[in-house]
Structures are given as structure tokens and as C-alpha cells.
Chain A
């Protein structure tokens, strides 16, 4: 059974770069697309972007200038970097497996707070 686990700092200072890692276990990262999704406290879900193991990426236009998603097939991990963060980037960040347009497996999520 595939499992996803997000990890990274829970607190990031304004203007700095948010960096998260998602470790995939129970399946090869080469078999699917993988997506980062975030949810500000008390609000809805927003797709940040997704990646295929080949390195093909697609980013949300509203975040595209600040986002980088990468994959490390040797570690079965994907990573998220979001630069120049502000308080508006405070959210629970999820990684999820994309299966032909739907997200069938999610990590538990990690709360990232942007504050000085």
C-alpha cells in the first residue's frame, strides 16, 4: 500500500524559501504523476503543481514564478520549493499521487507557518 510522508520546517521567515520533501513508500515514483496541494487554515484546497518522474512539470499560474517542483527517483522523493514567501503562504501542504486526473493517495500534510 502506497504511503506518502511530507517533511520540512514548520516555520519559515517572510521573504525566505519554503522547502518540503515528500517521501513515497510502497510504490515507485516512476509510475505516476505527483502533486503538491496546499490548504490555508480554515480555507479550501489549491493545487500548486505536479511533476512526472521524467521531470515534466506543470505549475499553478498564480504561483509559477515562485515554485519549483523536482523529483529524485533514487530516493523515491519529490520536493517543493516556494520562494519569497509571505503570510499568505501559511498553509497545510500535502503531496498526493495523481491517477489520471484524480488524487487517490494523500500524505498526512504538514503545516508551514510564515512568520518572523
Chain B
């Protein structure tokens, strides 16, 4: 059972906008810890997509954006493309566990 909750799957047509939620609690996201997002393409290692809630590393398209509010965070993908089909994970720090925690993961399907 993951500390951070994500929807198991979301889907959309090419060009559409998708959002993925990441719900935590007062010991992680709600405590002010940063939320980071990773994209995992099939058969590959996760790749950092968003860090510190909303910052894109160099090379990540600006179609990807992140936000955080209260005990939740969101990843938005605009102009959905076939290459965006992957698993997406949120990650933060939890003070009660004194360690890093991941979300349960969301599979994005491009219709």
C-alpha cells in the first residue's frame, strides 16, 4: 500500500490534456515536502520528469507541468502524444517514515 495515492490509469486521445493526481497527507506533501514526478517507459528505468513540484529538467518538453496544493499534487500533460504512453510516479519525503516515498503509479494510455 503506497503512502501516496495515484489513479491506476488515465487515457486520452492525441492532442488532449491529461492530469494525474497524487494525494498524500500531513506527514509528506502537506508538510511542505517537494513532490517529484518520474516517467517510466516500458522496459526502462524511471526518468525524472518534474522536480521541486513544478520544475522541468533540461530536455523535458514543456507539455509536462507540475503543481502542488495542500496535501496533493498534479502532473499535467498537454498536447498528448503517442510517445507519452508510459507509467508515471510521484515521489516525496515522509516525516513519519523518515524516508522517501513513491506514489502507486499511473498508467497513461494514448487512445
Contacts and interface: CB of A to CB of B under 8 A. Distances in A.
B102 A50 contact: no
A45 interface: yes
Contact of B45 (A46, A50, A101, A106): A106
Say whether chain A's binding surface is mostly helix, strand, loop, or mixed.
strand
Interface residues of B, number: 25
Given A45-B105, A107-B45, A102 B36 contact: yes
Given A46-B102, A47-B100, A109 B89 contact: no
B64 to A, nearest CB: 15
Interface string B17-58: 000000000000000011010100000111110011000010
Interface size class of A (residues with CB under 8 A): 20 to 34
Interface of A: 35, 44-47, 49-50, 58-61, 94, 98-109
10 contacts: A44-B103, A45-B102, A58-B99, A98-B100, A99-B51, A101-B33, A101-B36, A102-B48, A104-B48, A106-B47
